[in-house]
Amino acid sequence: MDFKQLISHCKEYGFIFQSSEVYDGLAAVYDYGPYGVELKNNIKNYWWKSMVQMHQNIVGIDAAIFMHPKTWKASGHVDAFNDPLVDNKDSKKRYRADQLIEGYCDKIEAKIKKDVEKARKKFGDAFDEAQFRSTNGRIVDRQKKIDDVMTQLGNLMRDEDMAGLKQLIIDLEIACPESGSRDWTDVRQFNLMFSTQLGNIAGEEGKLYLRPETAQGIFVNFLNVQKTTRQKIPFGIAQIGKAFRNEIVARQFIFRMKEFEQMEMQFFVPPGEEMKWYQYWKETRMKWHLSLGTPQSKLRFHDHDNLAHYANAALDIEYEFPFGFKELEGIHSRTDFDLSSHQELSGKKLQYFDPERNENYVPYVVETSIGCDRMFLTQITQALQEEKVPDADGKESTRTVMKLHPVLAPVKCAVLPLLKNKEELTKAAKDVYDKLKISLNCQYDEKDAIGRRYRRQDAIGTPYCVTIDFDTLEDNTVTLRDRDSLQQERVKIEDIAAVVNGKVDMAKLLGTL
Judged by the rule CB under 6 A, the positions of this chain that interact with ligand ATP are 213, 245, 247, 256-257, 260, 262, 327-330, 369-371, 373-374
| Sequence letter at residue 65 | I
CB closer to ligand ATP, 226 vs 262: 262
CB closer to ligand ATP, 29 vs 506: 29
CB of 463 to ligand ATP, least distance (A): 26
CB of 259 to ligand ATP, least distance (A): 8
CB of 173 to ligand ATP, least distance (A): 25
CB of 258 to ligand ATP, least distance (A): 7
Q: How far is CA 112 from the centre of its chain?
A: 27
CB of 377 to ligand ATP, least distance (A): 9
Of 190, 192, 159, 215, nearest to 341 by C-alpha is 215
Are residues 93 and 176 in contact, defined by beta-carbon separation less than 8 angstroms? yes
CB of 213 to ligand ATP, least distance (A): 6
Of 288, 281, 325, 318, nearest to 303 by C-alpha is 318
CB of 212 to ligand ATP, least distance (A): 8
Q: H or E stretch including 195?
A: strand 195-197
State how far the Cα of 313 lies from the Cα of 12, in Å rounded to an integer.
43
State how far the Cα of 39 lies from the Cα of 408, in Å rounded to an integer.
6
CB closer to ligand ATP, 257 vs 442: 257
Are residues 422 and 473 in contact, defined by beta-carbon separation less than 8 angstroms? no
CB of 502 to ligand ATP, least distance (A): 33
Q: Give the phi and the psi of residue 90 in degrees, each rounded to 5.
A: -85, -50
- DSSP 8-state class, residue 206: G
Handedness of CA 110, 112, 115, 120 (dihedral sign): negative
CB of 325 to ligand ATP, least distance (A): 12
CB closer to ligand ATP, 244 vs 433: 244
CB of 191 to ligand ATP, least distance (A): 13
Of 371, 373, 368, 460, nearest to 413 by C-alpha is 460
Of 479, 443, 478, nearest to 461 by C-alpha is 443
CB closer to ligand ATP, 290 vs 308: 308
DSSP string, 50-76: IIIIT-TTEEE----SB--THHHHHTT
Partners of residue 240 on adjacent β-strands: 263
Handedness of CA 118, 121, 126, 129 (dihedral sign): positive
Pairing of strands 477-482, 464-468: antiparallel
State how far the Cα of 184 lies from the Cα of 182, in Å rounded to an integer.
6
SS3 assignment, position 253: helix
CB closer to ligand ATP, 29 vs 146: 29
CB of 83 to ligand ATP, least distance (A): 8
State how far the Cα of 451 lies from the Cα of 481, in Å rounded to an integer.
12
CB closer to ligand ATP, 166 vs 334: 334
Are residues 319 and 301 in contact, defined by beta-carbon separation less than 8 angstroms? no
Long-range pairs, 132-139, Cβ under 8 A, ≥24: 139/112, 139/115
| Sequence letter at residue 419 | L
CB closer to ligand ATP, 289 vs 374: 374
Which residue has its beta carbon closest to ligand ATP? Answer: 371
CB closer to ligand ATP, 90 vs 109: 109
CB closer to ligand ATP, 161 vs 327: 327
CB closer to ligand ATP, 261 vs 446: 261
State how far the Cα of 411 lies from the Cα of 443, in Å rounded to an integer.
7
